[in-house]
Amino acid sequence: MLWLADAELAAAVSNAGALGVISPYAGMEKSADPPENLRRQIQKTRKLTKMPFGVNIPLDLPTSGLLINVVLEERVEIAVTSAGSPQLYSDLLFSAGVRVLHVIGSVAHAQLAESCKVDALIAEGAEAGGRIGRDELSLASLVPQVVDAVSIPVIAAGGIADGRGMAAAFALGADGVQLATRFIATEECLAHRNYKSAIVNGRDDDTLVTRRGIIPTRSLKNEFALKLAKMEKTGASVESTLEFIGRGRARMAQIEGDIANGDVYAGSSAGSVKEILPAAEVVENLVKGCMEAERRMQRCLVFRKRI
């Protein structure tokens, strides 16, 4: 949600009792300055909510160091880092009292992040939308192994869209969940209507993973993704693949609404997203659905005990 997680959405999520996270590129024009855009988003979020919120910093962005400086200058309390080693900025963030959650996709990466003293891990399964871990471990396989390997809190991400998925993550040992695809289809999200509709109309088999030779990425099947998959299947070189992808494909879909030629990031949970709702209602439904799933599990256990 690099272009989408702006102040309005983050504030709506935080005001509903969850943790909203903003992105440095959200709502930004192509030629704008990411650090200054992030500063505006942080300041705007503070006007919209008194609740905690976080900032997402992909460490492979060319401006990641400058973005970290903005986080420090604006005294943000929570940073979500990804796409790189937490060794890069963890000491700097910790010295300022920032709590760091780092996204990982394997046990080895989880243990490295823990050794860097991050506060919590986000274990992202291959069901997630956008870039995923090179090992492509499913959430059900990844979370229990990470939980067993580390002593810090673990948040499950990837393929979760409702309370049942939330309850399943807790059963696997997670301490919390992170959702992205579900929050694209919300009223507060600035995503183009075409993008939201593509997710709502998605089926269980409507996503695919491409770019395994570069950075594995899950998107909805469209003209761009299917052509890219065909190129890779027929042995296209990395160079020709990158040339075909070009730049700005994600923004093309998310902001401009070109869902034929853009990169329509979406998790495999898209098939479970049936309508566009207010963010607060999504959070409320998550909690209600999770509680119902837990009650169902209890009933199953009681029934099994009786027989």
Tokens 């990466």 belong to which residue?
A: 109
Q: Which fold has domain 7-192+282-306?
A: TIM Barrel (3.20.20)
Looking at the chain, which runs of residues are DSSP E strands?
A: 20-22, 53-58, 78-82, 99-104, 120-124, 130-131, 154-157, 176-178, 207-210, 217-220
| Confidence band, pLDDT 50/70/90 cuts, at residue 307 | low
200 has a pLDDT exceeding 80: yes
Two structure tokens written together for 59: 């460490």
Chain-wide mean pLDDT for the chain?
A: 92
pLDDT in tens, 231-258: 999 988 899 999 899 888 999 999 999 9
Domain positions in the chain are 7-192+282-306, 193-276
Looking at residue 15, its amino acid is: N
pLDDT in tens, 106-135: 999 999 999 999 999 999 999 999 998 888
Q: What is the mean pLDDT of residues 40-56?
A: 95
Question: What is the predicted pLDDT for the residue at 70?
Answer: 93
Report the predicted TM-score, pTM, of the whole model to 2 decimal places.
Answer: 0.90
Which is nearest to 285 in space by CA: 141, 188, 149, 166?
A: 166
CA distances from 5 to 121, 158, 184, 219, 251 (A): 20, 17, 9, 18, 13
